[in-house]
Amino acid sequence: MSTADAVAQIKAQGYQIWATDLNPDSVDVRELDWDAAGPVCVVMGNEERGISEEMRGLADKTFTLPMCGFAESFNLSVATSITLAHMSSKSDGEGNGPLRPGDLD
């Protein structure tokens, strides 16, 4: 299955595609409106190259994880953890917010 086919299937199920990406149009993860988005599929980029040009074009939104220091990016596990922490902070465990019961099972 191609990337475009996979994204089409996910979008057909009502999900938006939000991807991490270092581009000028990306939104700071702290500024994302997770509540207004509805279901979101988060795409994390490759540690060396990030997301592909194809994924960048297919994503509904791209976002960054701001950081201080000398490194340009977090490793994938840290970036994923930070993203899930932001999603978790916007969720109440009762089905409201981007993480709903059963999402991480």
Three-state SS for 50?
strand
pLDDT, mean of each 10-residue run, the chain (105 residues): 94 94 91 84 88 95 84 80 81 69 66
Q: How far apart are CA 76 and CA 73, in angstroms?
A: 9
> What pLDDT shows up at residue 71?
66
Residue type for position 77: S
Q: How far apart are CA 48 and CA 79, in angstroms?
A: 13
Q: State pTM to two decimals.
A: 0.83
Q: pLDDT for 22-52, tens place per residue? A: 889 999 999 998 877 788 999 998 878 889 9
